[in-house]
Amino acid sequence: MPENSKKMTTFRAPSPTVVVLAYDGLCTFEFGVAVEIFGLPRPEMGESWYRFAVASIDEGELRATGGVRILTDGDLSLLESADRVIIPGWRGPEAPVPEHLCEALRKAHARGCQLMSICSGVFVLAASGLLDNRQATTHWRYIETLKARFPAIRVVEDVLYQDEGDIMTSAGSAAGIDLCLHVVRRDYGMEAANRVAHRLVIQPHRDGSQTQRVSRPVAQLRESQRLGQLFDYLHQQLAEPHSVDSLARRVGMSQRTFLRRFQDATGTTPARWLLNERLMRAKDYLENSRMSIDHIAEKTGFGQAATLRHHFRQQFSLSPVQYRKRFAAISL
């Protein structure tokens, strides 16, 4: 190997098996999201990357939106060996869910399999009863229907995704990408999630609590370019102090205009965005470096270890030391 070649990074998860459900009337985009994140070969990630299969709910060839026909790897028996099952949408919120599917999901969940839904796929989980007395979300169009049909579910409105640990639900189609990247980040760390996002040419992290409804989803070209440059700058300068005034001046806007445009673009405030990014960077250092907590606090803009500990415990219910012991990718 040439001396200037980059060393392949090997991530730590033990090749979890991801099984995606397919059905007649399949939602093509939602299915494609799951395939793109978990089903593509990624040799740059090492040998421990996901194993992937597609399980059919219905017999024979399946029709998908857009005139696509699909043949799958097998039937619901594939769920018996799955570590994670993804439900990529559903035929519709009122469409019946077969009992044999509900039973297969309940059995998988009972043995420790993680379940995920994208968009209207939440109605499959709801029909199985696995969401009763738990929090879940879906596309804003289906929120009221979900509430009415399944009152035992604690429906969380206007978030991108809801992570309950063993069961996760997401909003509209694009929010499924955010949830899948969130899962990659949790399985393999920030570096892996950033690589996948870079390959997709999308933002590597959107917090699950971010709003679904953005009043101006597409900014004016000049503003979009300026904010994009600002995000690049902030990622490179997370350790530096930043104020609304300094950021507004950097992009040539008044504070009031800047706050409005920033909210439109991210669904959150500059302070909240910076806090999230600093916490994600701190998690990365804890997982993949031997730096002390004090040094990590300095490099991520928290200044003091006590401040990092406060925000880290508030966000993740773990101290930085506890998180490192549980998730460190290297031997310390």
| pLDDT 10s digits, 121-172 | 999 999 999 999 999 999 999 999 999 999 999 999 878 899 999 999 999 8
Non-local CB neighbours of 206 within 8 Å, separated by 6+ positions? 160, 178, 266, 267
45 and 128, same domain (yes or no): yes
137 and 248, same domain (yes or no): no
Confidence of residue 206 (pLDDT cuts 50, 70, 90): low
261 and 284, same domain (yes or no): no
Closest by CA position to 119, among listed 93, 96, 99 = 93
pLDDT of residue 126: 98
Helices within the chain (DSSP H only)? 28-34, 99-110, 122-128, 143-149, 173-188, 190-200, 221-236, 244-250, 255-266, 270-288, 293-299, 305-316, 320-327
94 and 170, same domain (yes or no): yes
Q: Rounded CA gap, 272 and 286, in Å? A: 21
Whether pLDDT at 175 is above 70: yes
Report if residue 312 sits inside a domain.
Answer: yes
Non-local CB neighbours of 137 within 8 Å, separated by 6+ positions? 122, 143, 155, 156, 157, 159, 160, 161, 162, 169, 170, 171
Which of 200, 234, 250 is the last residue before a domain boundary? 200
37 and 170, same domain (yes or no): yes
pLDDT tens-digit readout, 43-78:
888 888 999 999 999 998 899 999 999 999 999 999
Q: Average pLDDT, stretch 250-262? A: 92
pLDDT of residue 172: 80
Domain count, the chain: 3
Counting beta carbons within 10 angstroms of the beta carbon of residue 331, is it exposed (0 to 12), middle (13 to 18) or buried (19 or more)? exposed
Closest by CA position to 78, among listed 15, 16, 20 = 20
227 and 291, same domain (yes or no): no
130 and 194, same domain (yes or no): yes
For the record, the structure tokens of 158 come out as: 């206007």
108 and 191, same domain (yes or no): yes
CATH number for the domain harbouring residue 280: 1.10.10.60
Percent of the chain with pLDDT over 70: 88
For the record, the structure tokens of 291 come out as: 């730096």
250 and 277, same domain (yes or no): no
Whether pLDDT at 249 is above 70: yes
CATH number for the domain harbouring residue 148: 3.40.50.880
> Is the pTM above the cut of 0.85?
no
Q: Rounded CA gap, 169 and 115, in Å? A: 8
Distance, C-alpha 6 to centroid of its chain? 27
* β-pair type (154-155, 167-170): unpaired
Counting beta carbons within 10 angstroms of the beta carbon of residue 209, is it exposed (0 to 12), middle (13 to 18) or buried (19 or more)? middle
Q: What is the DSSP letter of 26?
A: B
pLDDT of residue 203: 63
160 and 227, same domain (yes or no): no
* β-pair type (167-170, 114-118): parallel
234 and 306, same domain (yes or no): no
Q: Average pLDDT, stretch 287-298? A: 92
Residues comprising the chain, all counted: 332
Q: Are 278 and 300 in contact (CB under 8 A)?
A: yes
Report if residue 46 sits inside a domain.
Answer: yes
Report if residue 332 sits inside a domain.
Answer: no
Which of 200, 235, 257 is the last residue before a domain boundary? 200
Q: Rounded CA gap, 95 and 226, in Å? A: 45
pLDDT of residue 326: 81
pLDDT of residue 193: 84
Report if residue 251 sits inside a domain.
Answer: yes
Whether pLDDT at 221 is above 80: no
185 and 227, same domain (yes or no): no
Report if residue 38 sits inside a domain.
Answer: yes
> The domain containing residue 256 runs over which residues?
221-267
Whether pLDDT at 92 is above 90: yes
Q: Average pLDDT, stretch 12-40? A: 91
Q: Rounded CA gap, 70 and 86, in Å? A: 17
